Structure 1
Amino acid sequence: MGKADFLSPKAIGNRIKAKGLQKLRWYCQMCQKQCRDENGFKCHCMSESHQRQLLLASEDPNKFMDYFSDEFKRDFLELIRRRFGTKRVHNNIVYNEYISHREHVHMNSTQWETLTDFTKWLGREGLCKVDETPKGWYIQYIDRDPETIRRQEEEARKKKQELDDEERSARFIEEQVRKGRDGREPEAESVYTELKRESEEEKVAFSLGASSSLAGPSKSSSALSASALRVAAASSTKRKDSSSSSASRQEKKRKSALEEIIEMEERKQQQQQQQQQQQQQQLRTDHWLQPNIVVKVITKRLGEKYHKKKAVVTEVRDRYGAVVKMIQSGDKLKLDQNHVETVIPAPGKKVVIVNGAYRDAEAVLEGIDEKNFSATLTLTSGKHKGKRVDVAYEDFSKLS
């Protein structure tokens, strides 16, 4: 059967099939030809060109093996250098990227039988740093390029020069400090004494300059003594402040690690409570009426018959209005939410949260905090089921 014509459907199909990687067992490394199936590979092995290549290889088989081995080693190391540099990488990752090239040299034509043998050979030859782990062999390329070595030596030389300059400047500064200390006279330490008077009638005076002197009952001495007393009082208050601050610092230092942890936990709890309060304020609305809750009528416009009486909300209209049914008489009234208020049941009863972060959730009343005008509830519905929360009086009401 003849060869397909150029750009014929069969020729185009053959080109499409020939693209990409094919099976390794149908590849002839000597002829560098890839066959698509077993029949094609068999025909190739029987061809005259393949027989000639085998005759050439049989004359000097080591020559061809060395050639393919050098090609494989050069391309493999070039891929590591360009793709990964001097990073540590798994050898199988590099090999998979290498064989993705269609025209690569196959390992079965080289002197290495497996990838592990090739990896060990790279380590023995000093071309790469290799190490074995439970996940396999890892390799790290050793860059022996003269330009790279020269650049590294130049950087090392610069670092050493910078260190020498820093040491030289530090030595010079130490020498200057030592000379300054040696040439300076020792300072006389000032001694502080208490102000004492030998007799009650004697006045205390201070000499603040060479011209000033101790005098009797004169205006200048009295003025100086007053200013000096003020200075002494200020210095004593400063000493007291410094002593109190040092005492407070010592108290702070005395705190143990456990106390610090407790303080941190308390601060975290305070921050969480503040965040919860902010979230509840953000989720609050100006309407709270809901069906099937018990409310108390607080308006006096309807007379004493309905004042302070309880009712059940049967229907909510326009968010702010509701139709309620009185519990005692059974009368139905239409009221505004300003005319009613929530009802707080006894502990253990069911309630509904009508406003805030947990709106529409049912809960059980656990306890009442009269000081903060709030109650502790345990949620029995919603995504926060089982959580204990503190809710204000006006944000929950008894469930009908």
Structure 2
Amino acid sequence: MGKADFLSPKAIGNRIKAKGLQKLRWYCQMCQKQCRDENGFKCHCMSESHQRQLLLASENPTKFMDYFSDEFKRDFLELLRRRFGTKRVHNNIVYNEYISHREHVHMNSTQWETLTDFTKWLGRKGLCKVDETPKGWYVQYIDRDPETIRRQEEQARKKKQELDDEERSAKFIEEQVRRGRDHKETEENPVYTELKRENEEEKVTFNLSVGSAVAGPSKSSSALGASALKAAAAASTSSSVKRKESSSGSDSRGEKKKKSALEEIIEVMEERKKQSVRTDYWLQNNIVVKVVTKRLGEKYHKKKAVITEVREKYTAVVKMVDSGDKLKLDQNHLETVIPAPGKRVLILNGPYRDTEAVLEGIDEKNFSATLTLDSGHQKGKTVGIAYEDFSKLA
């Protein structure tokens, strides 16, 4: 019985049945033929063409398996790269999209028995990043294309160059502002000197030129100017006498006065008042800090470091304790470290700034600690300092 015509109902029905996917158990990979039912698959296995393919495969079975495995791997990775890029995706989603193509290589003809084995093999070979979750295995394609690597390096170089340009411009602006501020301070700040008189006998006189200020003075104005001159002369005479008496008295006591106890107390209070003013910067050299920013990755997050250099009050160059790497960080990316009781710390802010101390105890309710000052004129004094105002000494 011959085949039905192309436009006959039977031929059209056969094409409709053959369209789309059929059951995998009735597919012959060697002959690349899909059967619709068990009877058709049985007839195909008994056919002469299928027997010839089996004889070819029996001569070198590993050759055919390696060929099908390479085809499956190449098509799978090509679909993963083209469809999903470097995104993290479930392996079953990629596999379902791969087998939707009718002429795909079936997994039962490859060296991998299951999709999980194939996913693990991709991870071992470094072709993809794989991780197991409660929902299953996820894969992420690793793009090692030379053009892609070159493009990423070019973007990283441009970004680094832009950051360097921004840092240079910021430093230039800060330098200009500092120069302008210093120049302004030197011009505006007056210089105060001690009042000295070379000759104690010299009289202090005031030259009040009242007549020169008025054009064509009258008699009454001239009389008023004369009386003002007389009063000024009398006042200057009395002031010179008083100054002479005070200068003679001071000569008898000594040229320079010694500071009294009250004046010394006032100076100490003023100095402490200046020191008690809190500042918004606290970085100091040779203290231990902790990196709190996540931008640098898990390698440096929550790791301890030692400040080796402070730049412009708000930036520090730190050396990591574990790896020894050197980083340049802002103070917002760092926090202080509280050591064990008995360890030495450095006070970073407040009235006892730059004072070394010994940690005695920690008050968790008030977020503070009890310190014993170990330097300065108040050595031995016990004070309470907040957590953020002191840190461990390196």
TM-score of the superposed pair, with normalisation by structure 2 = 0.47
TM-score of the superposed pair, with normalisation by structure 1 = 0.46
